[in-house]
Chains A and B, each alone.
Chain A
Amino acid sequence: MIDLSLLEDFVEGAGESLDEMESALLELETDLNNIELFNTIFRAMHTIKGAAQFVGLDKVSALSHVLEDLLDVLRNGKKQANVDIVNLFIQAKDRISALIADLERSQTEETEVDDLIEKIKVHLNSDAPVVEAPVVSVINETNAAEVIEESSDNIADFLTDDGEENYQDLFKADDNQDQVSSFLFEDSTESLESSFTTNHAAENDLASFLTEQNPVAESQSEEATLHEEQVPSSSVNTLLAFADAEQIATPALAKTADFSNFVIPDEEYDQELFTIFISQLQEKITLLNACVGRLKVEENINEILKVAAEAIDSLRFSANYMGYEQLTYFYVSWLEHLTQVQKEATPTFGFMRDYLLQLGKIFPQLEKNTPPPKKEIPLAVQIERMVIDKPAPVIDKVSEKSASFEAAVNKLEAVPDAELAFITDLIDVQTAKVQEPELLVSLTEEVNESEEKSQAQDEDLFQRLSYALDATIAQTISSAPINELFGSLLTATKEEQSRAKAQKDSELALEIKTLAQANQEPPALVEKEVVPKVELDTALGQQKPVLTVHDENKTNLVETAKKPKAKAEADKVFKKSIRVDADKIDSLMNQVGELIVDRAYFFQLANEINQLHQYLKTATGLGQKELKPVRTFAYRFGEAIISLGRTSNELQEGVMKIRMLPISQIFNRYPRLVHDLANTKGKKVQLEIRGEDTELDKMIIEEISDPLIHMIRNAIGHGLETPDVRKQMGKPEIGTLILEAYHESNHIVIEVTDDGRGIDTERIKIKAEELNLFTREELNRMSKDDLTRFIMMPGFSTAKEIDSTSGRGVGMDVVKKNIEKLNGTIEVESKVGIETKVRLKIPLTLAIIQALLVNVSNDWFTIPLANVEETLRVVQDEISIMEETEVMYLRGKTLPIFRLATLFNLKSGQNVADTEFFVVVVNTGNQRVGLMVDSLIGQEEVVIKPLVDYLHEKNCFSGATIVGDGRISLILDVYELVEMTTNKQIKRHEAQEKGSLVSLQDEM
Chain B
Amino acid sequence: MADRYTANRADSAEKEQLVQMVGFKIGKEIFGVDILMVQEIIRSAPITHVPNSPQFVEGVINLRGSIIPVIDLRKRLNLGTVEYSKETDWILILDIAGRITGFIVDLVTEVIKIQENSIDPPPDILVAGLHSQYIRGVCEVENTLLILLDFNRILLVDEVKKLKSVTLNQERGDADE
Does A pair with B? yes
Q: Is A991 at the interface (CB under 8 A from chain B)?
A: yes
- Alpha-carbon separation in the docked complex, A193 to B99 (Å): 70
Chain A positions 928-984 with a Cβ under 8 Å from a chain B Cβ = 945-951, 953-957, 960, 962, 966-970, 984
Q: In whole angstroms, what is the CA distance A844 to B101 when docked?
A: 32
B65-A951 in contact (CB<8A): no
B171 touches A905 (CB 8 A): yes
Q: Across the interface, which residues of B come within 8 angstroms of A970, CB to CB? A: 48, 50-51
**Which B residues, 156 to 177, have Cβ-Cβ distances below 8 Å to chain A?**
157, 160-161, 164-165, 168, 171-172, 175-176
Is B8 positioned at the interface, with any CB of A under 8 Å from its CB?
Answer: no
Q: Which residues of A contact B80 (CB under 8 A)?
A: none
Are A953 and B51 CB-contacts (below 8 A) given A947-B60, A948-B99? Answer: no
CB distance from B34 to the nearest CB of A (A): 21
Q: Which residues of B are found within 8 Å of A597, using beta-carbon distances?
A: 65
Determine if B62 is an interface residue (Cβ-Cβ < 8 Å): yes
B57 lies within 8 A of A951 (CB): yes
Q: Which residue of B lies closest to A860 (CB)?
A: B48
**Which residues on the A side are within 8 Å of B51 (C-beta)?**
903-906, 955-956, 970
B60 near A951: Cβ-Cβ < 8 Å: yes
Q: Taking A947-B67, A949-B157, A960-B67 as contacts, is the C-beta distance between A987 and B176 under 8 angstroms?
A: yes
- Determine if B46 is an interface residue (Cβ-Cβ < 8 Å): yes
B143: interface (CB < 8 Å) = no
- In B88-142, the 8 Å CB interface with A consists of 99, 101
Residues of chain A within 8 A of B164, CB atoms compared: 950
**B69 to A951, Cβ gap below 8 A?**
yes
Q: Is A594 an interface residue (CB 8 A)?
A: yes
Complex CA distance for A425 and B171, rounded to whole angstroms: 86
- Say whether B152 faces chain A, with CB atoms less than 8 Å apart: no
Looking across the interface, which residue of chain B has its beta carbon closest to that of A594?
A: B65
CB-CB nearest in chain B for A948: B69
Question: B68 — nearest CB in chain A belongs to which residue?
Answer: A948
User: Bound state CA distance, A866 and B48, in angstroms?
Assistant: 25
Give complex CA distance A714, B45 in Å: 53
| Minimal Cβ-Cβ distance residue in A for B66 | A945
When C-beta atoms are compared, the residue in chain A nearest to B158 turns out to be A950
Tell yes or no: A20 within 8 A of B by CB.
no
Q: Which residue of B is nearest A902, CB measured? A: B175
**Chain B CB within 10 Å, residue with most, of A949, A950, A969, A987:** A950
Give the Cβ gap from A988 to chain B, nearest Cβ, in Å. 8
* CB–CB A984/B67 < 8 A: no
Report how far A951 CA is from B67 CA in the complex, Å. 12
Contact B62 A950 (CB under 8 A): no
Contact in complex: B54, A859 (CB < 8 Å): no
Pair B157/A962 contact, Cβ less than 8 Å: no
User: Which of B51, B52, B66, B175 has the largest count of A CB atoms less than 10 A from its CB?
Assistant: B51
Confirm or deny: B9 has a beta carbon within 8 angstroms of a beta carbon on chain A: no
Name the residue of chain A whose CB is nearest to the CB of B100: A948
Quick one: CB contact mask for A844-875 with B, threshold 8 Å, 1 for yes? 00000000000000010000000000000000
Is B86 positioned at the interface, with any CB of A under 8 Å from its CB? no
Q: In the complex, A591→B144 CA distance in Å? A: 47
Tell me whether B52 and A956 are in contact (CB under 8 A): yes
What B residues does A957 contact at CB under 8 A?
A: 50
Closest CB of chain B to A979's CB: distance in Å?
13
- The verdict on A955 contacting B60 (CB below 8 Å), with A950-B160, A950-B161, A960-B67 known, is no
Q: Which of A859, A945, A950 contacts B48 (CB 8 A)?
A: A859
Question: What is the CA–CA distance of A947 and B57 in the complex, to the nearest angstrom?
Answer: 13
Within 8 A of B (CB), among A570-602: 594, 597
Complex Cα distance A725/B67, Å? Answer: 59
Number of interface residues of A (CB under 8 A): 30
Assuming the A-B contacts A945-B66, A962-B65, A968-B61, are A950 and B50 also in contact, with contact meaning beta carbons closer than 8 angstroms in the complex?
no
A859 to B60, CA, bound (A): 12
B79 to chain A, nearest CB (A): 21
Task: Assess whether B49 is interfacial by the CB under 8 Å rule.
Answer: yes
- Of all chain B residues, which has the CB nearest A946? B67
B66 / chain A contacts, CB cutoff of 8 Å: 945
Task: Output the nearest chain B residue to A955 by Cβ-Cβ distance.
Answer: B52
Give Cα distance in the complex from A987 to B54, angstroms.
Answer: 22
Return B166 CB to nearest CB of chain A, in Å. 13
**Residue from the set A903, A956, A962, A991 with the largest chain B CB neighbour count within 10 Å:** A962
Smallest CB-CB separation from A949: which chain B residue? B157
In the complex, what residues of B have CB within 8 A of residue A945's CB?
66-67
Residues of chain B lying within 8 A (CB to CB) of residue A967 = 46, 48, 62
B54 to chain A: which residues have CB within 8 Å?
A: 950
A948 to B54, CA, bound (A): 12
CB of B27 to closest CB in A, whole Å: 26
**A905-B171, A945-B66, A947-B60 given; A859·B49 CB < 8 A:** yes
The 0/1 profile, CB within 8 Å of B marked 1, for residues 766-783 of chain A is 000000000000000000
- A962/B67 in contact, CB under 8 A: yes
Query: Is B20 at the interface (CB under 8 A from chain A)?
Result: no
Interface flags for B35-73 (1: CB within 8 Å of A; 0: not) read: 000000000001011111110010011100111010000
| Chain B residues whose C-beta falls within 8 Å of the C-beta of A955 in the assembled complex | 50-53
Given the known inter-chain contacts A945-B67, A949-B157, A970-B48, please indicate yes or no for A962 contacting B176, CB distance below 8 A: no
Q: Which residue of A lies closest to B175 (CB)?
A: A984
Closest residue of A by beta carbon distance from B163: A950
- By CB atoms of chain B within 10 A, which of A903, A951, A956 has the most? A951
Instruction: Give the chain B neighbours of A984 by CB distance below 8 A.
Output: 175
Q: Nearest Cβ distance between residue B12 and chain A, in whole angstroms?
A: 29
Q: What are the residues of chain A within 8 A of B175 when measuring CB–CB?
A: 984
Measured between C-beta atoms, what is the minimum distance from B46 to chain A in Å?
6
Given the complex, which residues of A lie within 8 Å of B161, measured CB to CB? 950, 953
> Complex Cα distance A905/B49, Å?
11
Once A950-B164, A955-B53 are accepted as A-B contacts, the answer to whether A968 and B62 lie under 8 Å apart by CB is: yes
Cα distance A243–B176 in the bound complex, in angstroms: 92
Residues of chain A contacted by B52 (CB below 8 angstroms) = 904-905, 955-956
In Å, the complex CA distance between A859 and B52 comes to 14
Question: Mask for A898-930, Cβ within 8 A of B = 1, else 0?
Answer: 000001111000000000000000000000000
A887-906: which residues lie under 8 A (CB-CB) from chain B?
903-906
In the assembled complex, the Cα of A948 lies from the Cα of B160 at a distance in Å of: 11
CA distance A597 to B67 in the complex (A): 13
Q: B73 to chain A: closest CB distance in Å?
A: 16
What residues of chain B lie closer than 8 Å to A949, measured between beta carbons?
157
Q: Smallest distance from the beta carbon of A652 to chain B beta carbons, Å?
A: 16
A945, B62: Cα distance in complex, Å: 11
* Docked complex Cα distance between A62 and B91 (Å): 62
Taken together as a complex, chains A and B put the C-alpha atoms of A968 and B60 apart, in Å, by 8
Give B172 Cβ to nearest chain A Cβ, in Å: 8
Q: Which residues of B contact A987 (CB under 8 A)?
A: 172, 176
Cβ contacts under 8 Å, B157 to chain A: 949-950
Task: Please give me the residue from chain B that is nearest to A593 by CB atom.
Answer: B65
Query: Which A-chain residue is minimally distant from B48 (CB atoms)?
Result: A968
Cβ contacts under 8 Å, B165 to chain A: 954
Kindly provide the distance from the CB of A280 to the nearest chain B CB, expressed in whole angstroms: 47
Chain B, residue nearest A956 (CB) = B52
Report the minimum CB–CB distance from A770 to chain B (whole Å). 30
Which 10 pairs of residues, A with B, have the shortest CB-CB distance?
Answer: A904-B51, A968-B48, A950-B160, A945-B67, A960-B67, A948-B69, A594-B65, A968-B62, A955-B52, A962-B62
* 28 pairs, CB–CB < 8 Å, chain A vs chain B: A859-B49, A904-B51, A905-B52, A906-B51, A947-B50, A948-B69, A948-B101, A950-B53, A950-B57, A950-B69, A950-B161, A951-B53, A953-B161, A955-B51, A956-B51, A960-B67, A962-B62, A962-B65, A967-B46, A967-B48, A967-B62, A968-B60, A968-B61, A968-B62, A970-B48, A970-B51, A987-B176, A991-B176
11 more A-B residue pairs beyond the given contacts A956-B51, A960-B48, with a C-beta to C-beta distance below 8 A: A594-B65, A905-B171, A945-B66, A948-B101, A949-B157, A950-B161, A951-B53, A968-B48, A968-B60, A987-B172, A988-B176
Interface residues of B (CB under 8 A from A): 46, 48-54, 57, 60-62, 65-67, 69, 99, 101, 157, 160-161, 164-165, 168, 171-172, 175-176
Q: Which residues of A contact B (CB under 8 A)?
A: 594, 597, 859, 903-906, 945-951, 953-957, 960, 962, 966-970, 984, 987-988, 991
